[in-house]
Amino acid sequence: MKKTKDHPFFCYKKNCSKTAWNTPEYLSPEDWDFLAKVYDTLKNGNGEQLHALLWSVLDSIAEHFFNHSIGWAEGYTYCRNLRYVQECAFDGMVRHQLPKIKIALERIRQ
């Protein structure tokens, strides 16, 4: 019998990190709603607003965001620090994740 592997942020079936754009099947409706809020904040907000949004929800939603939505598990720990979000994470997410999040949201809305 084949052994089933389960990992918090890696998809063995597709051999990639879990992300909204590569493995949308791991996201719940709550995860998609939160991802849309993050998208709006990245597009129109700033680091302080992103930090406030990330930690205004249940830890499980924030953890799913990092593990399943953007595939950056370390971000769950790093982004607890407001200064880190303001100085590094916000700009990095705008550059690297924002375009991919946009595509994932467009696909799910079709």
Rg from Cα positions in the chain: 14
Spatial separation of the C-alpha atoms in residues 47 and 17, rounded to whole Å: 25
Give the per-residue pLDDT at 28: 94
Give the per-residue pLDDT at 7: 87
Give the per-residue pLDDT at 110: 83
- Taken in order 3, 4, 9, 13, the sign of the CA dihedral is positive
Spatial separation of the C-alpha atoms in residues 19 and 9, rounded to whole Å: 8
Overall size of the chain counted in residues:
110
Backbone angles phi, psi at 28, to 5 degrees: -90, 170
Give the per-residue pLDDT at 91: 98
Eight-class DSSP state of 22: T
Q: What is the block-wise mean pLDDT of the chain (110 residues), using blocks of 10 residues? A: 73 95 96 97 98 96 96 97 98 98 94
| Lookup: tokens for 57 | 């929800």
A 10 A CB-CB count for 72 gives 20
pTM score:
0.92
Domain ranges of the chain: 29-109
A 10 A CB-CB count for 19 gives 22
Spatial separation of the C-alpha atoms in residues 56 and 101, rounded to whole Å: 20
